[in-house]
Amino acid sequence: MKMRTITLYPLLCLLLYGTPVHSLAGTEGSRDARNNKKVRVIFDTDMGPDYDDVGAIAMLHAFADSGYVTILGTIASTKYEGVASVLNIFNTYFHRPGIPVGVPRQWAYTGKDPQHWTDSLIARYPHTIKTNAEVPDAVSLYRKLLAEQPDNSVTVITVGFFTNLNNLVHSGPDQYSRLSGLELVKKKVKNLVSMAGKFPEGKEFNVYKDAAAAYELFKVWPKPVLFSGWEIGQQIQTGLKLVNDATISNSPVKDAYRISIPQAASDQNGRMSWDQTAVLIAVKGYSNFFEIQKGTIEVEKDGSNKWINKLEDKAAYLTPKMPYEQLAAYIEQWMMHRPIKQQ
């Protein structure tokens, strides 16, 4: 699987000299933009049960500000009331309020955050989307966005459940495309990057909370897929530097971590950074950060998964390469990015 890679200079500056990466990324981003190499991303998230999704969407917008990414849509795989507003809050904070938001109309997980950071953000930060009913169905939005893009051009980043993708591949023609969902994915999607699963085997939240969707999806999914498993993000702790930076204020990203970190003893050194790893490798490639194991995933009906090694297969999962402490420092610098006003 060919993925874009990051030059080592910004990374070395960060690790050796402590220079914030967002102060270095602009030049590289401009060069990528001129070469028309922006990654076209649909971001599919269970924004709410946990808050590593917040770090992930912050990174995605930081990469967009630096010229690496075009964010086509932000789509929820949960449907608790308020999730559309939360996505709109982050898009608005980063000066992209017009990014489309979608929420499932069919069955979806309704659990939300026990720390109540979502309620706090909705009460405090500007947003024009007030209810889930105001936004399109997740599958309809997927179909619209994909139909509008060049062939083989879209990277789907999923950091939640496979509810939407399974519904998409089993969808039929509509006003946006005469193709079936599976045909549309084959035609328009370049690759899928997913934070899900435990490897080489295990049972992980994003898979088992909609086990039926994962079980069905990976029997038919036709495009390359790269997994960042639970065991990767579990070792990468971020958020404390963000929370303790007094120069960052009126930030929904900081507030989500500020509210949530003190509520769990396990987060005293920072929150585990599962979802951020998926955004990182989708945009920057894996090769400077991780190794990969190629093969295929097998999902059981109970949501457990195992891996079958196959060198020729289009799927892979991440294995360690860069020390986790260095990864955490690199990821958190992107999470601390301040919004850039769009021209």
Beta strands (DSSP E) in 117-232 are 154-158, 189-195, 201-203, 225-228
Task: Find tokens 């981003």 and name the residue.
Answer: 29
Beta strands (DSSP E) in the chain are 39-45, 69-76, 101-102, 154-158, 189-195, 201-203, 225-228, 237-238, 271-272, 290-299, 304-309, 315-320
- Whole-number pLDDT of residue 342: 61
- Whole-number pLDDT of residue 37: 86
Is the Cα torsion angle 24, 27, 29, 31 positive or negative in sign?
negative
- Whole-number pLDDT of residue 3: 36
How is 172-227 classified by DSSP, letter by letter? Answer: ---SS-SS-HHHHHHHHEEEEEEE---SSEEE-HHHHTTHHHHHHHHHH--S-EEE
- Whole-number pLDDT of residue 118: 98
Kindly give the pairing relationship between strand 290-299 and strand 315-320.
Answer: antiparallel
Task: Find tokens 């990324």 and name the residue.
Answer: 25
- Whole-number pLDDT of residue 14: 44
Residues of the chain with pLDDT under 70: 1-36, 342-343
- Whole-number pLDDT of residue 232: 98
- Whole-number pLDDT of residue 36: 57
- Whole-number pLDDT of residue 341: 74
3-state DSSP assignment of residue 249: coil
- Whole-number pLDDT of residue 312: 80
